[in-house]
């Protein structure tokens, strides 16, 4: 059951990722990106990371992708001419390079994966929920990175407002 | 039986797709989206390792990756809007002032 679910979800995620990269209109790309995010969130649920799945849907499918849609509407890309995409030769070159990368990545994985894959999957840690575990770790061991992350977000907000401001004159 | 390798292979494929998008699209917004795809591929392998090693650190790191990704997208899109106002295009071949 879990295997079938994994393959279906992986197929959906991969197909919509292909659409994200290869479709021509930015609006379609964004819509397929949302599908990819939801597929990844369900994969997270399959991996028993429920909290991250919810965050994935709220932050990525909710906020980030709406931001993309908003900018595309703002720029009104339908009226200006869409950038011409590269020639087929260049596309072929790109796909071959990416496949070469996959070929390089696989031996690295198979080098250290077998020591883990042989074991059975460990069950949930105790009877503590996923959210409780993440919260405890985040506010004890990883408190400093957590605060630094909030400062980073503040800097991003200020930077975005200043960059996006209309210049006078 | 779904093993760790299944997730790693899926993650590698997603990452490679993101690289294709970054290298061979010319639309700035699509390039930013492909960057997101690559970050998400890494997140997937983090969560998979966290599950199969039975430790929670991977999931906490994914949270930080998400924070950085959100900041990156906000600033990147602001730059895209500013560039569009200035030059009237978001084709990266026309925005080559800093290119050697």
A98-117 tens-digit pLDDT: 888 888 777 776 665 555 55
Phi-psi region at B64: left, alpha or beta (left = phi > 0; alpha = psi -120 to 50): alpha
**Rounded distance between C-alpha atoms, residue B7 and residue A44, angstroms:** 11
- Residue A103 is assigned to a structural domain of this protein: no
Same domain, A6 and A66: yes
Q: Which residues pair with B27 in a beta bridge?
A: B91
Q: What percent of chain A has pLDDT over 90?
A: 39
Which residues of chain A fall short of a pLDDT of 50? none
Same domain, A7 and A70: yes
Same domain, A77 and A17: yes
The closest CB to that of B47, out of A49, A137, A164, belongs to A49
- Residue A122 is assigned to a structural domain of this protein: no
Q: DSSP characters for A29-87?
A: HHHHHHHHHHHHHHHHHHTT-HHHHHHIIIIIIIIIHHHHHHHHHHHTTTTSPPPPPPP
**Rounded distance between C-alpha atoms, residue A152 and residue B5, angstroms:** 34
Q: Which of A62, A86, A110 is the last residue of a domain?
A: A86
pLDDT tens-digit profile of A142-152?
Answer: 999 999 999 99
Q: Which residues contact A121 (CB under 8 A, 6 or more apart)?
A: B51, B52
**Phi, psi (degrees; rounded to nearest 5) at A120:** -75, 160
Are B74 and A65 spatial neighbours (Cβ–Cβ below 8 Å)? no
pLDDT tens-digit profile of B31-78?
Answer: 999 999 999 999 999 999 998 888 888 999 999 999 999 999 999 999
Same domain, A16 and A65: yes
Number of H helices, E strands in chain A: 8, 0
Residue found under tokens 């720029």:
A75
Q: Best mutation site among B59, B87, B94 for testing chain A: the one with the most A CBs within 10 Å?
A: B59
The pLDDT of residue A104 is 79
Count chain A–chain B contacts defined by CB atoms under 8 A: 214
Which residues of chain A does B93 touch, with a Cβ-Cβ cutoff of 8 Å?
A: 83
Tokens at A59, concatenated? 């932050």
- Residue A119 is assigned to a structural domain of this protein: no
Complex ipTM value: 0.90
The closest CB to that of B44, out of A26, A43, A99, belongs to A43
Residue found under tokens 């198979």:
A110
User: What structural domains does chain B harbor?
Assistant: 4-87 (1.10.287.3510)
- Residue A152 is assigned to a structural domain of this protein: yes
Full residue range of the structural domain in which residue A56 is found: 1-86
The count of domains in chain A is 2
Same domain, A69 and A2: yes
Tokens at A97, concatenated? 């390079």
């Amino acid at each position: 059951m879990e295997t079938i679910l994994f393959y279906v979800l992986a197929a959906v995620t991969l197909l919509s990722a292909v659409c994200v990269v290869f479709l021509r209109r930015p609006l379609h790309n964004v819509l397929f990106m949302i599908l990819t995010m939801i597929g990844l969130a369900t994969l997270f649920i399959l991996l028993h990371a429920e909290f991250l799945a919810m965050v994935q849907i709220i932050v990525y499918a909710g906020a980030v992708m709406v931001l993309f849609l908003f900018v595309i509407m703002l720029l009104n890309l339908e009226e200006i001419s869409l950038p011409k995409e590269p020639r087929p030769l260049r596309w072929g070159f790109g796909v071959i390079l990416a496949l070469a990368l996959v070929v390089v990545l696989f031996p690295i994985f198979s080098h250290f994966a077998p020591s883990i894959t042989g074991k059975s999957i460990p069950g949930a840690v105790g009877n503590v929920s996923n959210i409780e575990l993440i919260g405890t770790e985040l506010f004890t061991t990883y408190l400093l990175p957590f605060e630094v992350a909030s400062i980073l977000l503040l800097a991003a907000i200020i930077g975005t407002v200043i960059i996006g401001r209309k210049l006078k004159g | 039986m779904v093993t760790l390798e299944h997730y790693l292979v899926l993650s590698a494929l997603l990452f490679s797709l993101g690289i294709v998008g970054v290298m061979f699209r010319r639309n700035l917004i699509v390039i930013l989206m492909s960057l997101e795809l690559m970050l998400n591929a890494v997140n997937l392998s983090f969560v998979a390792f966290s599950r199969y090693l039975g430790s929670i650190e991977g999931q906490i790191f994914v949270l930080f990756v998400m924070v950085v990704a959100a900041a990156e997208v906000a600033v990147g899109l602001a730059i895209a809007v500013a560039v569009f106002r200035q030059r009237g295009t978001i084709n990266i071949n026309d925005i080559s002032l800093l290119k050697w």
